Amino acid sequence: MNPGESKTVALDGPVTIYEVAGLREAFREALAEGVDLRVELDESTKWDLAGLQLLISCVQTARADGRSLTLAKVPRACVEAAERSGLSRWLDSTSEKD
């Protein structure tokens, strides 16, 4: 991909401590392409703090490389995990606005 291009990545299923290792590898591959990322979350189900930590790490990695990572179609389960973790403001600031 060329600079200025973007890629959409879709997550599905649970995003918890049990899935984070595999998801981390998928994100590493996507981030290695050197393009802005849009991550669609609408097909994701169960969320916990480990899933949110993975997203935070990915956003920080993208920004450190001068790229953006935007979250789209954030499901209620993710919003609730963010609320329980005190990360609502962060999630809102990283999410695509309708």
Tell whether 46 is covered by a domain.
yes
Calpha distance 45→77 (Å, rounded): 7
Q: Structural domain of residue 28, as residue ranges?
A: 6-94
Tell whether 58 is covered by a domain.
yes
Tell whether 49 is covered by a domain.
yes
Q: What is the pLDDT of residues 49-96, one digit of tens each?
A: 999 999 999 999 999 999 999 999 999 999 999 999 999 999 999 999
Tell whether 1 is covered by a domain.
no
In the chain, how many domains are there?
Answer: 1
Q: What CATH number is given to the structural domain containing 82? A: 3.30.750.24
Q: What is the pLDDT of residue 97?
A: 84
Tell whether 34 is covered by a domain.
yes
Calpha distance 78→41 (Å, rounded): 8
Q: What is the pLDDT of residues 12-36, one digit of tens each?
A: 999 999 999 999 999 999 999 999 9
Tell whether 85 is covered by a domain.
yes
The answer to whether 92 and 59 are in contact (CB under 8 A) is no
Tell whether 38 is covered by a domain.
yes
pLDDT band of residue 98 (cuts 50, 70, 90) is low
pTM check: above 0.85 = yes
Calpha distance 65→68 (Å, rounded): 9
Q: What is the pLDDT of residue 5?
A: 85
Partnered with residue 95 across adjacent β-strands are: 71
Calpha distance 78→28 (Å, rounded): 21
The answer to whether 96 and 70 are in contact (CB under 8 A) is yes
Tell whether 33 is covered by a domain.
yes
